[in-house]
Amino acid sequence: MAKMTTLAAFPKAFDSFLRAEPEHFHEWVTRRQSELVAFCVVIIVAGAGGYGAVMGSWREPMQAFYTGIKLPMVILLTTLGNGLLNGMLAPLLGLNVSFRHSLSAVLISFAITSVVLGALSPIALFIVWNTPPLTAGTMLTSPEYGFLQLTLAFFVALGGIIGNVRLLPLLRHWAPKPAIARNVLLAWLAGNLVLGSQICWVLRPFIWDSKRPVEFIGPEGFHGSFFETVIQAVWRLAF
Amino acid sequence: MPPRPLGDDSAERVPITNAIAAIDAILRQPRRVMFQLRQPDAHRLVTSMVLASLVCAAIYGAIAGTSTGGSQLGVASVKVTLGLLISGVICLPSLYIFTCLSGSQARLLEICGLLSGLFLLMTVLLIGFAPVAWIFSQSTDSLVGMGALHLIFWFIATAFGLRFLQAGFSQSRARSQAGIKTWVVIFVLVALQMTAALRPILGKSDTFLPGSKKFFAVYWSQCFQEARDNSRATR
């Protein structure tokens, strides 16, 4: 019902949303913020949730259900967790927007990413369906698992890039100089990357954990950090 | 090109009445803060900025303390607040002397205000980083990793704070920037030394203050070495 109300309040919203006309975004952010936020949340839950379900479906339906919940959670928790910081960085870098406006802008970007992920879900499902199924002999080093990981991560990266590229016109619309819009986007990207990576780390596994049964969050969730693991891996390789 | 004079925009002349307004102004209208620091009742603004920055430092300290948990929540909170306060008290005289030597016309109260503005902006930004710091502190046992993360956040926050201070300084008709640049180096070194003087801020200790004296670079390299040895031992 809520979804219907939201979508009805935005005639042709989907078209404008994907075409990312800065004037429309600006108008929604300034005049119809609560509707915009609800609209974006619905899109994130549906788009990223659908893609998440596809990611987890390689293992079993329960993993699909969990990953379908976890992927939108990553996006929404990253948006909320960095909301304050993003709202502070924008004026400090020369873009005088309110906290609510910056939060809405980041949410718009993530919603576009989710739309892309939702649209790529059938292709991802096709790839998952064509990938050799998980068996007792499957290992973390198995080529099929590596292929699936890389392909699904590539789609997420593609969605993320498109979402951020679409956000740039809105920031340029608000900013007095194009360089300011670029700097704000880069600062937001960096912050979201740091927090998003760690939230993903906490909420893992998204596809499969070879040592554990299907769980929402494994016992290793709050153990270690994404960057620590990357640094240790680099260290092991180098020395 | 000389900087635009303060107060030429009517919005800059609106008084800042409380700490919340000061936080908002320092983020969005730093020139308004600079203008208000030149008004006769600037001491109120300075006081509210100092108090707000101490509260923000205490909150961030408590978040930093969650890495260890227990009593360290309070201990880290007190140490971070104390470190900020001591850095300010230690560095204020040199800041005033350097600004005077640079030909600046700023009064001592205005310099106090610019320093408290630096601290306010720095600590408010640290509060912005707090959710990120918290999620990492809940996931990792590596105190060295957490220390590095806090340092990165501190450097970013301090860079923005120092930018405010330098913008304020450029409004004071100083002949040269050499004095303020020298002071910035001194301030950063003092703040970094606080991590060794008040150690440990993240880990546990039997005493509130350390028994021996160490230079911060030596302390950091020892922490790094210990972490590497522990990592090898567990492997």
pLDDT by residue (tens digit) across B35-67?
A: 999 998 899 999 999 999 999 999 999 999 998
In the predicted structure, residue A5 carries a pLDDT above the cut 50: no
In this prediction the pTM is 0.80
Q: Domain count for chain A, please give it.
A: 1
Output the pLDDT for position A7. Answer: 45
B5 in a structural domain: no
d(CA B181, CA B183): 5
Output the pLDDT for position A117. Answer: 92
Output the pLDDT for position B79. Answer: 94
In the predicted structure, residue A6 carries a pLDDT above the cut 50: no
Output the pLDDT for position A3. Answer: 42
Give the structural domain span for B129: 10-234
B187 in a structural domain: yes
Helices of type H across B66-142: 72-101, 108-139
Output the pLDDT for position B1. Answer: 64
Output the pLDDT for position B227. Answer: 81
**Mean per-residue pLDDT over chain B, rounded:** 90
What ipTM was reported for this prediction? 0.72
In the predicted structure, residue A2 carries a pLDDT above the cut 90: no
Instruction: Determine the residue of chain B that is closest to A219 in CA distance.
Output: B139
Question: How far away is chain A from the Cα of B212, in angstroms, using its nearest Cα?
Answer: 30
Q: Do residues A119 and A111 make contact, with C-beta atoms less than 8 angstroms apart?
A: no
Q: In chain A, pLDDT over 90 holds for what percent of residues? A: 37
* Contact yes or no for A88 and B131 at CB 8 A: no
In the predicted structure, residue B231 carries a pLDDT above the cut 80: no
Give the structural domain span for A57: 2-238
* Contact yes or no for B136 and A198 at CB 8 A: yes
- Mean of pLDDT values over B144-168: 94
Look-up: residue for tokens 């993003």?
Answer: A86
Structure tokens at B76: 């880290």
* Contact yes or no for A225 and B140 at CB 8 A: yes
Please tell me which residue, B63 or B106, carries the higher pLDDT value: B63
Q: Please state, in angstroms and as integers, the Cα–Cα distance from residue A170 to each residue in A178, A184, A190, following that order.
A: 11, 12, 19
Q: Which residues of B touch A89 (CB under 8 A)?
A: 128
B4 in a structural domain: no
Output the pLDDT for position A10. Answer: 55
Structure tokens at B46: 């300075």
Question: How far away is chain B from the Cα of A201, in angstroms, using its nearest Cα?
Answer: 9
Q: Which residues of B touch A92 (CB under 8 A)?
A: 27, 121, 125, 160
Output the pLDDT for position B34. Answer: 93
Three-class SS string for B167-233?
A: HHHHCCCCCCCHHHHHHHHHHHHHHHHHHHHCCCCCCCCCCCCCCCCCCHHHHHHHHHHHHHHHHHH
Please state the separation of Cα B196 from the chain's center in Å.
Answer: 16
d(CA B220, CA B193): 10
In the predicted structure, residue A12 carries a pLDDT above the cut 70: no
Q: Domain count for chain B, please give it.
A: 1
